[in-house]
Chain A
Amino acid sequence: MSRALAILSLLLLAVLGNAFSPENPTDRKILVLLDDLSIKSSHSLYFQSLQTRGFDLDFKLADDPKIALQRYGQYLYDALILFSPSIDSLGGSLNAASILDFVDSGHDLILAADASASDLIREIATECGVDFDEDQSAMVIDHTSFAVSDTEGDHTLIAGDDFIQSDVILGKEKIKAPVLFKGIGHSVNPANSLVLKVLSASPSAYSANPKSKLSTPPTLTGSAISLVSVVQARNNARVLISGSLSMFSNRFFRSGVQKAGSTINHEKSGNEQFVTEISKWVFHERGHLKAVNVRHHKVGEADEPSIYRINDDLEYSLEIYEWSGTSWEPYVADDVQVQFYMMSPYVLKTMSTDQKGVYYTSFKVPDVYGVFQFKVEYEKLGVTSLSLAKQIPVRPFRHNEYERFITAAFPYYGASFSMMGGFFLFSLVYLYHK
């Protein structure tokens, strides 16, 4: 029981200690580290969209000696935007390890690299499970799905439209126009289930130096190249890694886009929508779940028992809400499952929902006794994972709970009772017969 409490309180701490505070989530401080303050101006549309959504941006030069992420063990910021692709060493006491600690403690990170990406930026990305092309001069080139441009003829300006299929990450609205991308590509480790490719390159893309001839095949080719990836860590910290800083720039936001070979000329590129939607996801304005009111009881009863007997019928219910940016909305899905678990799941059941956030199910306790757990491990593309566990012991029948009147045993009972009757009569006859 105390272990169950400890687990629960840990879960609670994980939710409360998260950077994302349910009480006042709009007031979030974000540290923006720049190579150069002109980025503040050249990428102002992106920053403005964040500011209008209520984020408090703190712009600093990446080599500013005064920058600090934490003071007296408390983090000063909830998220970090690293728009300093060429920085070799960060100012203050910041280094790759402290940024990773920042993420490890549940904070979010947006990292944009560029053709000039430094080793530091590459190292941070690698630690997040994203490997940028090792060739320092390589860029993503695509000769069949580039963006038609009057000034750039080397096909490094890519019109990407191979998005991840996820409403949670990219919003319900379809991204209308291709996204302009100019930068370096990366690959994600196929064994890593936490990294997701959000924007992939087309099959004809490759990553190479556009100025030199190729003699060996490039290491990154085709749709294995990821242009933009996201990571959702186990502690629900979210990381966005993009190989292009200019993807966030005003110039690309405003620019029109026409994909090579297509006659449709989009007046505005999809960058603004793409980048805004994905930042909503990164900053937990979408796809952040919480589970409350976890209840279980026997069928027909209302109170939660401290122990179940084998073969009891029980009901289990919980409520799941999703943060919508302003309020907690009921989360509607049809794939929330509960497990009744001891070493392995004895029962795994998909829960029914009333479409208002309440999920419920009922099942019979297995006829195996021991210490079980109610486990809800909900993982879905893009949403924060829910992991609830509640310990509950299951006991066998008590001695008096077994069946009493077994027909097959009637001959034995009959024998005993006829014996008893006989004994009584015999005692009378024996004592008083004359």
Chain B
Amino acid sequence: MDSSPIILTLASVVLVSTPLIIAVCGEILTERSGIVNLSLDGTMLMAAMTGFIVAFESDSVWIGFLAAMAIGAFFAFIVAFGSIRLRQSQFAIGFVLTLLGDDLSAFLGQNYTRIPGPVVKHYAIPILKDIPIIGPIFFNQNAVVYFAFILVAVTWFWLFRTQPGLRLRSAGDRPEAGFARGVGINFQRYLYTIIGGALVGIAGASYSLNIKIGWSEGITRGLGWIVLAIVIFGGWSPIRGMFGALLFGATKALATYLQRTFPEVSVVAFNAIPWVLMILVLLLVGSDFTERVIMIVPKSLQRPLQRMLRISPPQALGSTFVED
């Protein structure tokens, strides 16, 4: 049963979703601190290119990942520095970096296209991999996949159960209040923009070193925008963001399946499925219908359910803060 087509498909959905999950966690950290790093699409391309080339030359995927993190952190630093220190529009900077990353990665990586390179090694976790259904889907993968899921848990815990998490969220929600309590707002924003960028770097490299092995121009194009959308759809929560990424991966797989089944229908139509589905989910979550459904469930479940479905963007997202 472990090798049934459904299990294999689900396992590949999990694998394909990991870069999204990692990048979503990174961008959530950044946006929760009050900065929007719009450069993700370009950053991921740069990271995918750098990660592959460095891994290829050093023959070590891990050094490749480190290089990708550095590139991601550097792009994020430009966004943070430009918006905090130079007081320029973070949206404009991020957008220009997206375009830059796209072209620069194509230029710098042109001698390395379509050649085989090092790959993250498969590593099934003993014992856990033998759990029926769940085992082959989640625990018969590799270190990058495990890292993604651990990252979700750590990000959630960090944000909602620790003092540094409070400080981080205060910077994005009400910087004046954080400042009054001794939080260095702009320090928080630098820190989490850079950490977020490094994670986006890992996401980009995990594409070229783990999923579509190798480098070719525009290999991850579009994924950055998807990540930005999932962050919003997921209400800036890592756990919901993870589900969003998995849902996106699943609909992608569905689209591929449908495309093979109905070859006469245009490819473009199937590619649109994930987006339509995401909008439907979003509408459903905030609808009166859902409110009514919540009213039916037992009283003790209502409050946690409502809390789970609540979406509140960081109130100071995208604004500048001047420390007097």
A binds B: no
List the interface of chain A (C-beta within 8 A of B).
none
